Each structure stands twice: as C-alpha cells, then as structure tokens.
C-alpha cells in the first residue's frame, strides 16, 4: 500500500510535529490535543477563512450576498441511549446549536449514518424517531442523508455525522473573536449534566445518580438573546472540554482575559457529588444544552432576564466579565477568594460522551 500512499499529490507542509505518532483518545477530547491535531495537521491543508476563524460553525458568503453558517459534528457517544437523550437527539441538537452560535437561524440538516452489521433495526428506528422529534422541536428539516454498513466489530452500533446550515442576517457579526474588555459573561444554566448522565448510563459512577443529560436545541434561546440586545458579541456552547475549555478558546480568539467567579457557576448537587467522587472538575465536563453569551455590560441585565424567560435558559446566571489582562487567559475567583488560572482540558477525561 505504501506506494499508493506516497503517490498522493498536493502536500503543502511537512508532516506536522504532533506529540504522538499515533492517534490516541485524547485527540478527540475537545481540549489541547484536539486543538493540536486541528491546528497542526488539518488547518495547513484545509485552510479557509471560515475554518481559521475557529468558531463552532464556519461563516461563508454566497455571490448574491447571502451569508450562511455551516457546521458539522461526528457523533460516537456510547451508550447510544442515556438519561435525557440519545445519539439521535445529540446529532440534531449538536449541529443546530453550532449553527445558532453564529447568530444564524438553523434551517437544514444532513445526516450520514455508519451502521455496524448486526445492529438491531428497532434501535435504528428509535434513533430516527428521536431525530425527528428533535428536528421538529428545533424547527429544522433533514434534507439529505446517507447510510453505510461496516462489518461486525468495525463500529460500535452506530455513528451519526450531521452537518447543518442556516442564514446569518445581514450586519450580524457574532463570533469567538468579538469579546471586548468590560463585557459581561452569562451562562444559560448548570454545567456538567451531559457528561455525568452518560457516565451514569455506562454504570461507571458506582452509584445511582439522578442526572439527566441537558441535550437541547438552543436556537430559540438564541433568538430571545438577539431580540434583547444589539450588542451580543459572543455565543458559544461549552460541549467537549466543558466551560473551562470554551472560555479559554474565546479568550484566545479575542485576545482578552476572562475573569469568572467560582461561586456564581451553577452545578446541580448530584453532578457535584459525582465529580467529587470521581475526581473530576465540573468546569471540564461536557454540556449539550448550555450556552455562554458575552454581552456589552449595559445590556447584560436585560439579556439575562430574556434568557430566564425561555425554556432552556430558566437558570441563566452572570458568571464573570471580560478583562484586558491577561490576554488569552481565564482566571477564576475561588470560593476562598483566591485566584486560580483555569486552563484548557489537557488530555482525555471522558471519552465518547458526544
């Protein structure tokens, strides 16, 4: 095979110096190693302004001036069903949310299924029904699909890769690079529910936990936020890597500091208990139905009030503010009034939670 490998044309850079010769689980963590893989291996080949912006969705402009937000997500969550959701709901909501985070209205979705030989047809039917329900809730249409089957042992039940797009209204510029010193950081609700719910479904907690995944389509919450203020600078959903990693991404993209208050960050008691037992920091646990909104200070109170009037923003809170220093860093005022640097997720904490 090597001769075919070496015949491929189009190399634009030397083989990147990743820290590993082989892919490890951490490359899928959403943290530092994922970032390394994307920036050192993929970006040199797939460079485009949309990708380089580093947002959850790419923003592109058609010739007639129409602006679209485009996103894709591969879903490999295990198990396929867990309290509060399943891989189908995840595939729809994950992509809907990424598109919404550019301030776009998600409209259309595609879904590519990779099925393992031997998968029960009834399982696939439940997943399709769940996707249908999530699509109806989000108000989007599934307009293209594909199905492939691999031999038993070459997948794990089923994987779904969704892609989606929506229209960005003229004049709207929301993105990870738009945070400004003085802005206020809002969070739509308690963190860590999704990661802990999936762990519980795996039986890895060692005890019963009453935690439901928060998977939800956030496009209506985004509409409420945008109606409340013309000064929304950043929207981002803290999925893989958790709140900590997402805030760091924004701090780096915007070249600002972010200061958060530990006591202001809501964590449900069973999630806090599970994290304490397992040695996890909830700041790094994945969410699938939460968003961060970074807003001009003058509008923060009205945006927060608007968020709280929506189904998926009832528990929204103010968690901190944007500072000029130190650029690219996230600092947290701890419970004991100290200051802690909050870094990005370094390795892999919870594999295959999305």
25 binds its own copies (CB under 8 A): yes
36 binds its own copies (CB under 8 A): no
177 binds its own copies (CB under 8 A): no
Residue whose CB is less far from its own copies, 51 or 341: 51
CA distance 18 to 29: 15
CA 321 remoteness from chain centre? 21
What residues between 138 and 157 interact with its own copies by CB under 8 A?
A: 141-151, 153-156
- Member of 32, 34, 209, 322 binding its own copies (CB under 8 A): 34
309 binds its own copies (CB under 8 A): no
Name the one residue in this structure whose structure tokens are 């600002």: 256
Return the SS3 of 149.
strand
298 binds its own copies (CB under 8 A): no
Residue whose CB is less far from its own copies, 163 or 243: 163
Closest to 350 measured CA to CA, from 154, 87, 77, 155: 77
Pick the piece of the chain touching its own copies (CB under 8 A) from 59-67, 188-196, 313-321, 325-333: 59-67
Residue pair 70/57 in contact (Cβ under 8 Å)? The answer is: yes
Report in angstroms how near the CB of residue 75 gets to its own copies at its nearest.
Answer: 7
Strands 184-187 and 292-295: antiparallel
How is 175-214 classified by DSSP, letter by letter?
STT---TT-EEEE-S-S-HHHHHHHHHTT-SSS-------
| 51 token code pair | 């990708």
- Member of 57, 228, 235, 252 binding its own copies (CB under 8 A): 57
What residues between 1 and 20 interact with its own copies by CB under 8 A?
A: 1, 4-6, 8-12, 15-16, 18, 20
| 93 token code pair | 């909501």
- Member of 39, 48, 230, 302 binding its own copies (CB under 8 A): 48
Return the SS3 of 160.
strand
The continuous run of DSSP H or E covering 69 comes out as strand 67-75
What residues between 212 and 271 interact with its own copies by CB under 8 A?
A: none
Return the SS3 of 219.
helix
CA 256 remoteness from chain centre? 21
Report in angstroms how near the CB of residue 330 gets to its own copies at its nearest.
Answer: 24
Residue whose CB is less far from its own copies, 149 or 205: 149
- Member of 31, 32, 54, 58 binding its own copies (CB under 8 A): 58
Pick the piece of the chain touching its own copies (CB under 8 A) from 52-60, 172-180, 278-286, 300-308: 52-60
The continuous run of DSSP H or E covering 252 comes out as helix 242-254
Beta bridge partners of 288: none
Size of the site for its own copies (CB under 8 A): 103
Report in angstroms how near the CB of residue 243 gets to its own copies at its nearest.
Answer: 20
Buried b (16+ CB within 10 A) or exposed e, 296-335: beebbeebbebbeebebbeebbbbbbbbeeeeebbbbbee
Report in angstroms how near the CB of residue 303 gets to its own copies at its nearest.
Answer: 26
Q: Would you give the binding string for its own copies spanning residues 64-103, x where CB under 8 A is met?
A: x-x---xxxxxxx--xxxxx--x-----------------
CA distance 75 to 292: 22
| 116 token code pair | 């393992």
Residue whose CB is less far from its own copies, 51 or 305: 51
104 binds its own copies (CB under 8 A): no
């Amino acid at each position: 095979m090597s001769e075919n490998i070496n015949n491929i044309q189009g190399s634009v850079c030397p083989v990147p110096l990743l820290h590993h010769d082989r892919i490890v689980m951490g490359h899928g963590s959403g943290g530092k190693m994922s970032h390394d893989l994307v920036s050192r291996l993929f970006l040199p080949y797939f460079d485009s302004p949309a990708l380089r912006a580093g947002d959850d969705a790419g923003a592109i402009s058609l010739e007639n001036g129409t602006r679209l937000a485009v996103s894709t997500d591969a879903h490999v969550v295990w198990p396929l069903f867990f309290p509060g959701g399943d891989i189908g709901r995840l595939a729809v909501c994950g992509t809907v949310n990424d598109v919404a985070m550019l301030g776009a209205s998600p409209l259309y979705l595609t879904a590519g299924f990779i099925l393992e030989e031997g998968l029960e047809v009834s399982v696939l039917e439940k997943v399709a029904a769940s996707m249908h329900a999530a699509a109806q809730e989000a108000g989007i249409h599934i307009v293209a699909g594909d199905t492939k089957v691999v031999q038993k042992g070459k997948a794990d039940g089923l994987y779904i890769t969704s892609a989606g797009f929506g229209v960005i209204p003229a004049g709207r510029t929301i993105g990870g690079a738009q945070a400004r010193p003085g802005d206020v950081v809002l969070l739509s609700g308690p963190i860590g529910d999704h990661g802990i719910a999936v762990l519980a479904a795996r039986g890895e907690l060692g005890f019963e936990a009453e935690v439901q995944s928060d998977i939800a389509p956030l496009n209506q919450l985004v509409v409420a936020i945008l109606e409340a203020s013309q000064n929304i600078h950043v929207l981002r959903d803290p999925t893989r890597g958790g709140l900590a990693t997402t805030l760091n991404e924004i701090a780096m993209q915007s070249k600002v500091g972010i200061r958060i208050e530990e006591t202001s960050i809501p964590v449900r008691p069973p999630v806090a208990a599970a994290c304490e037992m397992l040695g996890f920091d909830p700041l790094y646990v994945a969410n699938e139905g939460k968003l961060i909104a970074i807003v001009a200070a003058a509008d923060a109170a009205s945006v927060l009030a608007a968020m709280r009037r929506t189904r998926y923003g009832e528990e929204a809170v103010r968690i901190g503010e944007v500072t000029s220093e130190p650029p690219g860093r996230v600092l947290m005022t701890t419970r004991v009034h100290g200051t802690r640097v909050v870094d990005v997720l370094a390795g892999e904490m919870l594999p295959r939670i999305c």
